[in-house]
Amino acid sequence: MKKWLIPVIIIAVIVFALYKWAVGINNTAVNFEENAKTSWADVESSYQRRNDLIGNLVKTVQGAADFERGTLTDVIEARAKATQVTVDPANISPEKLAEFQQAQSGVSSALSRLLVTVEQYPDLKANQNFLELQSQLEGTENRINVARDRYNESVNVYNKHIKIFPNSLFAGMFGFEEMTRFAAEQGAEKAPEVDFDFK
């Protein structure tokens, strides 16, 4: 065997091993990134379910002839504003996520005021459609929290993968960037004063 062939074979094996290693880093990052995007779609789906329920809730409440129109208007406007804020899952910037959270927070706040105001309307509190929608909204709020937590978990796995050494050497070359997590809203540490128990 020729002496020059041994170094060539060693170099070829090293290059092939590095190639396989880089491909593995890339493919794993792609997999984690897609999981995070899917988790984001689940977040949006949960918020969409809430928006759909709010539409039905508003129709039910409008049936109460003397119900406070300003409260209903606030809910309708907050819902409309929230549906206009969209976030591209491939490019979730901290600013876009903050804008999204602020719009959704506006819906939550207006909805809370609506549900508190309902306490003054015994006929509405006894309305079976309203009670069913209220129950579904409570369940949807739980779904939203679960979806947001799962999104954060997916983003955490992805971010750790692209930031640990030596993966970080290749992540930038392959175009992988850190994704933004949901953060608690300012003032979220204070429990909202909403009573969902209308008996």
Would you list the domain boundaries of the chain? 5-171
pLDDT at 87: 85
pLDDT at 122: 78
Residue of 126, 33, 45, 113 lying closest to 74 (CA atoms): 113
Which H helix or E strand runs over 6? helix 5-62
- CA separation for the pair 197, 94 (Å, rounded): 36
pLDDT at 45: 92
pTM of the model: 0.77
Q: How buried is residue 177: exposed, middle or buried, by Cβ count under 10 Å (0-12/13-18/19+)?
A: exposed
pLDDT in tens, the chain (199 residues): 677 888 888 999 999 998 998 899 999 999 999 999 999 999 999 999 999 988 888 888 877 656 677 888 888 889 888 888 888 887 788 888 888 988 999 999 888 888 888 877 777 777 788 888 888 988 999 999 999 999 999 999 999 999 999 888 888 888 899 998 887 665 544 544 544 444 4
Residue of 135, 106, 107 lying closest to 196 (CA atoms): 135
pLDDT at 56: 85
The pLDDT tens digits of the residues spanning 48-78 come to 999 998 888 888 887 765 667 788 888 888 9
pLDDT at 124: 75
Which homologous superfamily does the CATH classification assign to the domain defined by 5-171?
LemA-like domain (1.20.1440.20)
pLDDT at 189: 45
